[in-house]
Amino acid sequence: MKVLTALLALAAARAQVPTTWAQAEVDTLELPAANPAYSAIHLDQAAYYRIPERVIYRTYPVYAPGREPAGYREWLQSREPEIAFDASKVKSKEQWVRAGETVFNTPTSFQAVFFTADNLRDPEFFRRTGMPIATDGTVPFARWTVRRKGEVELGSMGCNTCHTRVLAEGTVVPGAQGNNPGDRQGALLLASAATMLGQEQALARVRKFARQFQMPWLQDDCNRVTETMTIADFVKAGEEIPPGVTARANTSMILPPQIPDLIGVRQRRFLDHTGLIRQRGIGDLMRYSSLAQDLFSQDRYGSNSTAGRAGPPSARYSDPQLYSLALYLYSLQPPKNPHRSDASAVRGQAIFRREKCATCHTPPLYTNNRLIPADGFHPSAEIAGVLRAPIGVDARYTLETHKNTGYYKVPSLKGVWYRGPFGHNGSAATLEDWFDPSRIRPDYVPTGYKGYDGKTRSIPGHLFGLTLSGPEREDLIAFLNTL
């Protein structure tokens, strides 16, 4: 009888895990591309489940130089490999969430994407890149991993590499807009590869990498510029990308996006700045995570298929891994807000009302969860959730990258006090800059991301709040900082 009860409990636990790659759900996951003929076609269900599941090993914190406990390296060397995710042992809701935290921090790459193991032991590397260090001396963007005894590997490119923020005083905030300077680190890595391999070979590699961002069907694809860029141009392009912005898969090295805050993601109807992915339930967040980390490389676009793309990925997350990850993301909480509502914030709230910010940034989420067509985009189909209210922001990200839908999502304003840079491309470093009327002048130099050649001027559009007096602006920001 006891065995039967246990089996039934196990079956119930299994039953609640949604099937990630359910064909009908995958086929309707995304909005059509701005040009629907080139919407992504994903790998089919049978092929998806033939990809081996990712084995999740126990990982260990990375410490900044001089902060490692005595004997730490020797201790790591002596560790046996341990499996850290076993779905059969995960039962309570709390256990699912904790298992999801493990998945969040699990590396998906053991190669140098942003940094090498040597880099993370070199104080000069931290000085040059401004890589943040937590109060306890750890570097939460990477993990030591033991997959074979005696071999301690540096792993990264789990969610933590991009979606973890270390606040100024050293508090680690998982899920917040990340602030590891990944692309600046990548630029250093490229410069040293050019010294070691020679310019030509390093250039061939980085051009091949950059080709994944191209959209051959666009007459004037800005990503094509990488075909004529030199090593020095690529290094410059990487150095220009500030922490909080990153060129990840399916975005662009030329038009990298702001890394979104994942705290509060459960309430969002659309994912990505362009609202490409629908979030109809937890299964869609699982699909999103699998796609963004592993499956994107298998996408085909109309008849223009897989130019420059690779064979099937070596691993994917299992369905229970993705389910626990999504439950963990749903459990994330913001750090304690030091900003209290004072007289200035109360005045700011009145300005927020008067300026009709709430039409789009509607309380309590401070977003209406809607999409706004970019200037110059003429939708061919009706999409539920669209608000036709042109705001004139830079349309390129939503028209000239694989995330193209022709729309921008209205972002939530919750948590602006602990994040930045702002705007879908992170062009304004602070809220003060976002509401600085001179940002729309052609001779303005953005304080956040400036563009790959560092020459792009002005932050156009979203004119809301730009006509306020100085004190009014301060009050509005005081209010926003309380959210």
- Contact residues toward ligand HEC (CB under 6 A) are 157, 159, 161-163, 246, 248, 251, 257, 259-260, 262, 265, 268, 271-274, 288-289, 292-293, 325, 352, 355-357, 359-361, 372, 389, 391, 393, 403, 408, 410-411, 413, 416, 422-424, 431, 434, 462, 464-465, 476
In angstroms, the CA 413 to CA 392 distance is: 19
CB 132 within 8 A of CB 180: yes
The three-class DSSP label of residue 407 is strand
Name the residue nearer to ligand HEC (CB basis): 58 or 473. 473
Cβ 5 to ligand HEC shortest distance, Å: 34
Cβ 140 to ligand HEC shortest distance, Å: 13
Name the residue nearer to ligand HEC (CB basis): 102 or 226. 102
Phi-psi region of 361 (alpha: psi -120 to 50; beta: other; left: phi over 0): beta
Cβ 145 to ligand HEC shortest distance, Å: 16
CB 347 within 8 A of CB 475: yes
In angstroms, the CA 317 to CA 312 distance is: 14
Cβ 38 to ligand HEC shortest distance, Å: 17
CB 166 within 8 A of CB 134: yes
Cβ 4 to ligand HEC shortest distance, Å: 36
Name the residue nearer to ligand HEC (CB basis): 234 or 288. 288
Q: How would you classify the pairing of strands 407-409 and 164-166? A: unpaired
Name the residue nearer to ligand HEC (CB basis): 63 or 422. 422
- Take residue 56 and report the two structure tokens written for it: 């999740």
Cβ 80 to ligand HEC shortest distance, Å: 26
Cβ 200 to ligand HEC shortest distance, Å: 27
CB 334 within 8 A of CB 481: no
Give the angle 333-334-338 at the CA atoms, nearest 5°.
145
Cβ 315 to ligand HEC shortest distance, Å: 12
* DSSP 8-state symbol, 235: H
The span from the first CA to the last CA of the chain, in angstroms, equals: 52
Q: Mark 361-380 as b/e (b = at least 16 C-beta within 10 Å).
A: beeebbbbbbbbbbeebebe
The three-class DSSP label of residue 4 is helix
In angstroms, the CA 435 to CA 25 distance is: 40
CB 265 within 8 A of CB 329: yes
Name the residue nearer to ligand HEC (CB basis): 226 or 293. 293
Name the residue nearer to ligand HEC (CB basis): 76 or 341. 341
Name the residue nearer to ligand HEC (CB basis): 207 or 266. 266
Residue type for 215, please? M
Cβ 442 to ligand HEC shortest distance, Å: 18
Name the residue nearer to ligand HEC (CB basis): 42 or 273. 273
Name the residue nearer to ligand HEC (CB basis): 77 or 111. 111
CA distances to 6, 179, 217, 218, 443 from 258, rounded to whole Å, are: 46, 11, 25, 23, 23
* DSSP 8-state symbol, 146: E
Name the residue nearer to ligand HEC (CB basis): 138 or 160. 160
Cβ 169 to ligand HEC shortest distance, Å: 22
DSSP per residue, 12-68: HHHHTS--TT-HHHHHTSBPPPSSGGG-EEPPPHHHHHHSPBPP-B-EEEEE-TT-S
Cβ 194 to ligand HEC shortest distance, Å: 22
Name the residue nearer to ligand HEC (CB basis): 71 or 364. 364
In angstroms, the CA 131 to CA 263 distance is: 22
* DSSP 8-state symbol, 316: B
In angstroms, the CA 222 to CA 213 distance is: 10
Give the angle 284-285-287 at the CA atoms, nearest 5°.
60
